Amino acid sequence: MTDKSTQTRKATHRVYSVSGEGKSAYWQLLGHAVPNSDGLGFNLLCNAMPIGNARMVMREIQPKDDPAQGRFA
């Protein structure tokens, strides 16, 4: 659930589902994270959820991040 204050703040992190390890890992963009106004947590806004043995990873947004590349350093 989002509120008006969440919608006006900018996302600082992306949320991914990651399956596999190392260079063969597959990263699927799930959504993004917006910091709470008190700075103590995040609201996760996801368009999908991982299934199976995938793990969720939250990474700070970097200019080099490109979902088309599939893997992020």
**Which pair of structure tokens corresponds to residue 70?**
């599939």
- The span from the CA of 73 to the CA of 59, in Å, is 10
Residue with tokens 């190392």: 22
Q: What is the pLDDT of residue 68?
A: 47
What's the mean per-residue pLDDT of the chain?
82
Q: What is the pLDDT of residue 64?
A: 74
Query: Given pLDDT bands bounded at 50, 70 and 90, which one contains residue 11?
Result: very high
Residue with tokens 């799930």: 30
pTM of this structure: 0.72
In the chain, where the domains are located: 4-60
- The span from the CA of 5 to the CA of 37, in Å, is 8
Statement: residue 2 has pLDDT above 90: no
pLDDT 10s digits, 19-33: 988 889 999 999 999
